[in-house]
Amino acid sequence: MTETDPILHFEDVRYRWPGRASFGLNIPDLTLARSETVLLLGESGAGKSTLLSLICGTVLAESGRVLVAGQNIAALSPGRRDRFRAEQIGLIFQQFNLLPFASVQDNILLPLRFAPNRRKRVTDMPAEAKRLCIDLGLPQDVLSAKAGALSVGQQQRVAAARALIGTPPMIIADEPTSSLDAATQATFLELLFAQSRAHGTTLLMVSHDARLSSQFDRVIHMADIAKTDRERA
Ligand X SMILES: Nc1ncnc2c1ncn2[C@@H]1O[C@H](COP(=O)(O)OP(=O)(O)OP(=O)(O)O)[C@@H](O)[C@H]1O
CB closer to Mg ion, 35 vs 49: 49
Q: What does the alpha-carbon distance between residue 134 and residue 69 come to, in Å, rounded to a whole number?
A: 31
CB closer to ligand X, 93 vs 142: 93
- Residue in 138, 179, 144 with CA at minimum distance from that of residue 158: 138
CB closer to ligand X, 53 vs 184: 53
Query: What's the closest the beta carbon of residue 44 comes to ligand X, in angstroms?
Result: 3
Residues 11-30 touching ligand X, rule: CB under 6 A, are 17, 20, 23
Binding site partner of 193, from ligand X, Mg ion, none, Cβ cut-off 5-8 A by kind: none
Determine if 144 is a binding residue for ligand X (CB under 6 A). Answer: no
Query: What's the closest the beta carbon of residue 163 comes to ligand X, in angstroms?
Result: 18
Contact 9, 67 (CB under 8 A): yes
Q: What does the alpha-carbon distance between residue 32 and residue 14 come to, in Å, rounded to a whole number?
A: 18
Query: What's the closest the beta carbon of residue 173 comes to ligand X, in angstroms?
Result: 12
Helix (H) or strand (E) holding 37: strand 37-41
Query: What's the closest the beta carbon of residue 192 comes to ligand X, in angstroms?
Result: 19
Helix (H, G, I), strand (E, B) or coil at 53: helix
Determine if 46 is a binding residue for ligand X (CB under 6 A). Answer: yes
Residues 65-94 touching ligand X, rule: CB under 6 A, are 94
Out of 11, 14, 49, 64, the residue judged to bind ligand X by CB under 6 A: 49
Out of 10, 24, 27, 50, the residue judged to bind ligand X by CB under 6 A: 50
Determine if 111 is a binding residue for ligand X (CB under 6 A). Answer: no
Out of 44, 77, 151, 214, the residue judged to bind ligand X by CB under 6 A: 44
Q: What does the alpha-carbon distance between residue 197 and residue 201 come to, in Å, rounded to a whole number?
A: 7
Q: Residue 29 pairs with which residues in a beta bridge?
A: 11
Residue type at 202?
T
CB closer to ligand X, 52 vs 104: 52
Cβ-proximal residues to 117 (8 Å cutoff; 6+ apart), any chain: 87, 166
Cβ-proximal residues to 160 (8 Å cutoff; 6+ apart), any chain: 92, 132, 136, 173, 176, 188, 191, 192
DSSP class of residue 226 equals -
Determine if 45 is a binding residue for ligand X (CB under 6 A). Answer: yes
Contact footprint for ligand X (CB under 6 A): 17, 20, 23, 42, 44-50, 94
